[in-house]
Structure formats: structure tokens, C-alpha cells
């Protein structure tokens, strides 16, 4: 069956980075003045050329795209002919509005996947329109690429697209993350978790025959993880459990009938919610009340951070109070395929050192099932 792919390039993505700006959002003019050149069209072409020559030979794909540098130029330069232009910008200088309008068209056309080239800002603009209705895959080209929707590089993205078209990959959760601009303007650097989109991921396989495997859905894995966490909580009846953000932990909380938040930090005691969307101050207050606490975290974003991206509420003070030994990391195996290293940016040198000294951490990937995973910290 033919795959229907929506393709969009944010031509100005990445321009800020070359001239030392933290993104191109709202500072394009300044970036151009500083000598920035468009980067995204080149990256997109690179990826498409690789895709056509090394992988699918572009068979069985119907491309929907935007006119000019927003898509059709790159496709044509890569030798892809069967394209349909579904959006054209009115202005020579494209903006976030153009990305959003084009995505509305992709939604109407019911494409199977949106392939985009840009950075975190572009991913956010797309997510704002398509939410989790259509899976997205990013060709990395921005300044900030914390979102989980990106391939590691152009060649990995080409391979992922090839596997997706050949139905070897499945659809799973990816985090949409970006710099919190409000805080940034106040001088604070905070990568926020904006939402959970659908992306393409490697399915989890279990051996059922001799050389025959069945792929297990992410939900089945999350059910197992839920059972594991319930066991854990029941065994430690006097512990407060801090639930980190993200799709996996949210799934577990919902299965436990805990009314938590997807993107925030919540606290659970004896399987009941005792703090919802709590900030550092409230967490510390809860830690005063409850003697023992553990925190459940899941890797977030393209780099697999468990701390320091999307959960700054879990400040060094909070983590020190809870203790590094009381961190439970959980992950679906498919997520670990994408980010085989767990990253930590604890926001405090001594704490980062503590993580660095661990070198490895046990990550729970199923019911009573864990694996050893390497830790990487920012400073060590």
C-alpha cells in the first residue's frame, strides 16, 4: 500500500545557531544581519538524497508538500517527482504561521506521517496543530533539538523513514520539548516539556517460537511497568512516590486511577494522589511531611535525559533530599533503542558527580525486569 507523507521544511531553522543565538524564533532579522545562511534546505536535501539512493528508492510513496524552499524544492532536488503541492506561502519570508497552516492541510489530507526539517520550535509548531493525531519525524536542523521526534542525524532519519515505509517500525510516544521563552527572557534557561506527540519507534519483540518473535505493543509493556510500580509501592507502604513527567509515567498513573498531570510532577502516597503538578517548593514541603521518598523517572526527549530537561522542579535540593539511590528509572524497551544512554543534568556539580560515579543505572523495562544502562552527565 502507498504511504502518504507530508513533508515540510522550515527554511530558517538553525540560522540562529550559526551566529550564536539560542534559536531562530523571533530573531531571524538579527540572525541574517549577523550573516546567518539558511541551513535547513541543505539538511533536508541531504536526508532525502540518502533516502532515495540508499534505501527505498522512493517506491510507493505519495508526497504532499509546500511550494519552494518549504518542501518542493528539496524534494525535486533529490530527484523525487511524484509530489503534490498543498500549501504555498503568501510571504517570501516564512514564519511559524506557515508551518501551522501547512500542517492543517496535512491533517485534512490524512497523511500517514509528517516528515519535517527544523528544530524544537518547528516541532512545537507542528505539534500545536496535529497534536498526537499524526506521527511526526524530524530531520535535525535547528539550534535546539531536545524533542524526541528527531532522528540522530540525516542518515539515521533516512533509515527510520525507510523502515517506517516498510512497516518495520511502529508508532509510539515522543516528547515535544523546547526552551521556555518566558523564563529565558528573565535570564533562566529551562527546557520545558510541551507535550507528548506520536513518533516512530522500534517495536519491542519477544521470542515466542524458535526463531519467531512477536512484537509487543507499547501499551502492553506499559501495563507490565504498571504492575511493577504497583508492586513496588505496595512493598514500600510508607514511602512517598514522586512521579516525573512523560507518557510512560502518565500511563502508569492513569492505570492506578491516580489523577496526575502528563507534563508536571505529581506525588503519590499509598497509591493516592497527594500533590498535583507540584513545584520545587511544594515537593520540598511534602518531603518534610513524609520521611521516605522515591522518585520515578523516565528518559525524556531525543537525548534520553532523566533529569534537567522538562522537569526542573526536581531541583538539586529535591534530588539530594530523596537520594540518588531512591531514583527508579523506567522505560519502554523501544525508547531505550532510541536513547541507549541515560543522561543527567542535575543542575549541581556535586550531584552530577554522584551520578557520574554510578556510571550505570538499572532501568526497569518490564515487570520485575531491568537492564543495565550507561549514565552520562553534563559535566563529567
Partner 1 sequence: MKRNPNAFLNEEYGELVKKSLDWKLRILETGSTPHSVVDGKEVIMLCSNNYLNLSNHPRLIQAAIDASKKYGAGSGSVRPIAGTMKLHMEVEKRLAKFKGTESSLIYQTGFAANAGLIPQLAAKGDIIISDELNHGSIIDGVRLTKTDRAIYKHRNMVELEKALNNADKKYNRILIITDGVFSMDGDIAPMDKIVKLGSEYGAMTYVDDAHGEGVIGPDGRGIGAHFGIEGQIDVEMGTFSKAYGVVGGLIAGSQDLVNFAYNKSRTWLLSGSHPPAVAAAQLAAIDVLETEPEHVKNLWNNTNYFKKELKSMGFDTGDSETPITPVIVGESSIAKELSNLLFGEGVFALPIVFPMVARDKARIRTMMNAGLKREDLDFALEKFEKLGKKLDII
User: Which residues would be at the binding site for partner 1 (CB under 8 A)?
Assistant: 163, 168, 205, 207, 209-213, 359-360, 362, 368-372
Shortest Å distance, C-beta 301 to partner 1? 23
Shortest Å distance, C-beta 235 to partner 1? 11
Chain position carrying cell 524530524:
138
CB-nearer residue toward partner 1: 281 or 337: 337
> Are 304 and 344 within 8 A, CB to CB?
no
CB-nearer residue toward partner 1: 189 or 369: 369
Q: Cell numbers for 365, please give them.
A: 523495562
Chain position carrying cell 511559524:
96
DSSP state of 308: S
CB-nearer residue toward partner 1: 87 or 239: 239
In DSSP terms, 344 is beta-bridged to: 307, 377
> Are 171 and 199 within 8 A, CB to CB?
yes
Shortest Å distance, C-beta 364 to partner 1? 10
DSSP state of 225: H
Shortest Å distance, C-beta 352 to partner 1? 18
> Are 376 and 353 within 8 A, CB to CB?
no
Contacts of 118 (CB under 8 A, 6+ apart): 9, 10, 13, 14, 40, 99, 138, 139, 141, 142
CB-nearer residue toward partner 1: 189 or 360: 360
Give the Cα separation of 124 and 139 in Å (integer).
14
CB-nearer residue toward partner 1: 131 or 163: 163
> Are 118 and 97 within 8 A, CB to CB?
no
Shortest Å distance, C-beta 150 to partner 1? 20
In DSSP notation, 261-294 reads -SSS-EEEETTEEEESS--HHHHHHHHHH-SEEE
Shortest Å distance, C-beta 343 to partner 1? 17
CB-nearer residue toward partner 1: 186 or 210: 210
DSSP state of 203: P
Shortest Å distance, C-beta 231 to partner 1? 10
CB-nearer residue toward partner 1: 160 or 278: 160
Amino acid at each position: 500500500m502507498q504511504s502518504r507523507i507530508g513533508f515540510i521544511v522550515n527554511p530558517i531553522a538553525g540560522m540562529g545557531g550559526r551566529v550564536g543565538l539560542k534559536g531562530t524564533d523571533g530573531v531571524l532579522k538579527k540572525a541574517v544581519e549577523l550573516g546567518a545562511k539558511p541551513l535547513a534546505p541543505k539538511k533536508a536535501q541531504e536526508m532525502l538524497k540518502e533516502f532515495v539512493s540508499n534505501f527505498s528508492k522512493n517506491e510507493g510513496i505519495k508526497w504532499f508538500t509546500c511550494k519552494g524552499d518549504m518542501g518542493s524544492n528539496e524534494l525535486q532536488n533529490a530527484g523525487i517527482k511524484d509530489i503534490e503541492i498543498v500549501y504555498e506561502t503568501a510571504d517570501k519570508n516564512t514564519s511559524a504561521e506557515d508551518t501551522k497552516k501547512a500542517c492543517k492541510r496535512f491533517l485534512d489530507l490524512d497523511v500517514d506521517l509528517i516528515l519535517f526539517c527544523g528544530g524544537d520550535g518547528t516541532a512545537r509548531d507542528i505539534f500545536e496543530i496535529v497534536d498526537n493525531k499524526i506521527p511526526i519525524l524530524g530531520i535535525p536542523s535547528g539550534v535546539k533539538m531536545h524533542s524526541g521526534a528527531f532522528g540522530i542525524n540525516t542518515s539515521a532519519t533516512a533509515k527510520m523513514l525507510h523502515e517506517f515505509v516498510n512497516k518495520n517500525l511502529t508508532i509510539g510516544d515522543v516528547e515535544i520539548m523546547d526552551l521556555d521563552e518566558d523564563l529565558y527572557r528573565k535570564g533562566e534557561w529551562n527546557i520545558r516539556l510541551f507535550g507528548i506527540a506520536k513518533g516512530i519507534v522500534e517495536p519491542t519483540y519477544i521470542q515466542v517460537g524458535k526463531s519467531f518473535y512477536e512484537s509487543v505493543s507499547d501499551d502492553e509493556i506499559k501495563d507490565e511497568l504498571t504492575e511493577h510500580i504497583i508492586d513496588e509501592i505496595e512493598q514500600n507502604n510508607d514511602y512517598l512516590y514522586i512521579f516525573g513527567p512523560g507518557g510512560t509515567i502518565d500511563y502508569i498513573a492513569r492505570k492506578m486511577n491516580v489523577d496526575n498531570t502528563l507534563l508536571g510532577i505529581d506525588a503519590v502516597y499509598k497509591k493516592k494522589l497527594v500533590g498535583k503538578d507540584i513545584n520545587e517548593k511544594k515537593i520540598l514541603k511534602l518531603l518534610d511531611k513524609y520521611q521516605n521518598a522515591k522518585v520515578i523517572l523516565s528518559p525524556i526527549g531525543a537525548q534520553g535525559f532523566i533529569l534537567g530537561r522538562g522537569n526542573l522542579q526536581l531541583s538539586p535540593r529535591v534530588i539530594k533530599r530523596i537520594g540518588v539511590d531512591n531514583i527508579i528509572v523506567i522505560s519502554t524497551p523501544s525508547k531505550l533503542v532510541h536513547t541507549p544512554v541515560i543522561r543527567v543534568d542535575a543542575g549541581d556539580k556535586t550531584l552530577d558527580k554522584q551520578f557520574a560515579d554510578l556510571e550505570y543505572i538499572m532501568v526497569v523495562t518490564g515487570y520485575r525486569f531491568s537492564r543495565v544502562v550507561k549514565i552520562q552527565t553534563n559535566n563529567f
